[in-house]
Structures are given as C-alpha cells and as structure tokens.
Amino acid sequence: MLDCIIKETAKKTDAAIIWMHGLGANGHDFADIVPELKLPKDAAIRFLFPHAPVMPVSVNNGYKMPAWFDIIHEDLEQEPDIEGIEKSSKLVAELIDAEIENGINSERILLVGFSQGGVLALHTAMRYNKKLAGAASLSAFYPTAHTMLMNAVNSKIPVFFGHGSHDNVLPVTLGQKAFDFLKLNGNPVEMHTYHMQHSVCLEELKALGAWVYRQLAA
C-alpha cells in the first residue's frame, strides 16, 4: 500500500479524494492546498496524498526520483510507459479499495492528479471496476486513451481539466487533446485554462473545489 499524507475536512467523512503529485515531488506537494479549494463547510472529505515510488527516469539520465512511470522521450506522446502507468494504477486502485472497505461509497470517491499524477488519475478512474464520482487532470494528458475500456463502468464519468496556457513542460494542446477525446466519448467534461506555466493557481483550485462539490452533491 502506498504511503499517504491524510487530511480531513470533518471528524466523520463520507467522501474521499485521492490526489497524485507530479514527477520528482511527493505527497507534501499538494497536502496544504485543501483550504484553497474553498469547499463549503458541510463537505466531509478525506484527502489522501500518496507518495509515488522512487524509480530511474530515462529523460533524466536514469536518475532515481519519485515517479509514477518512466518518461522515455521528451516528446511525451512517443513510447509512453504504459506498463509503468498500469503498475502505478494498481497501487492507486488499492487505495480506492481501502477507502471502500472503510465505509466510503465508491460513487463518493474522486481521483485528482497533477502532471504525471493527472495521467494516473485518468487512467485509473476510467478502468476501476466500481463506479467513481469523477476524475480531475491538472496540467496533464492521456497517453493511454486509446486503450480505454469504452464499456467500463467509469467510461462516462465527469472529468475536470485544468491547464496553463503557457505550459512549456506539458503543452496545453496535449490537455486539449485529452479533453476532446473524452468529450467525443460522451463524458461530461470541463476545460479550464489559466495564464500560467506548468503549475496550479488559486483560481484553478477554486474552480476545482466547486467542481468537486458538484460531483459529490450529485
């Protein structure tokens, strides 16, 4: 089981959000942003911020760092590490399983991720075998879209996309491609762009918080 930082907005929670960080970071990267989501006081959510495994990353000359999967080329769409994505996805699925065992209804569980974490959020959510509330992809893309199980229970879940219009690490065109794919698939999707680079901003977090609350209220 992945180690996680846990934050709760109430003593008794009835929903869960699993939030994956980006390459080279760890669960601390987003653990303090919960207040910036501006969630209503009645939102009783358990946040899990897992730490990615440490592994060699090819584009960084094999240097070991926290990563959800390998990056083989600077062109992120070339030879995506599908095996690595699937391996980490199984670890995230274990966290979902544990939340369900702890009494959280699967339809009140959301996956969120930034950059590599966003890839993992989309990949895992679309393939999980019990209905989830949705997924959010922040400054990410969807390299395994073509392998998506279109008849899976989560193939039509809502998805929030947030991206910087000046992202020089993962261009917004890649996020837009993922948005277009899922919109064509029939998913309820939202795309939000912000005047920033490969990062998040307060405006984005507030929009994400409003989206999260809508999904859980539904």
Q: Which residues are annotated as catalytic?
A: 115, 167, 198
- The answer to whether the CB of 165 falls within 8 A of the CB of 134 is no
Which DSSP symbol is given to 50? E
Please give the Cα distance from 187 to 156 (Å, whole number): 5
Please give the Cα distance from 207 to 2 (Å, whole number): 28
Please give the Cα distance from 181 to 174 (Å, whole number): 11
CB within 8 A of 32, min separation 6: which ones? Answer: none
CB within 8 A of 52, min separation 6: which ones? Answer: 2, 20, 21, 25, 26, 66, 67, 68, 88, 116, 117
Burial code of 144-165, b = ≥16 C-beta within 10 A, e = fewer?
bbeebeeeeebbebbbbbbbbe
Concatenating the DSSP letter of every residue in 2-19 gives: --EEEEESSSS--EEEEE
Conformation bin of residue 62: beta by default, left when phi > 0, alpha when psi is -120 to 50: left
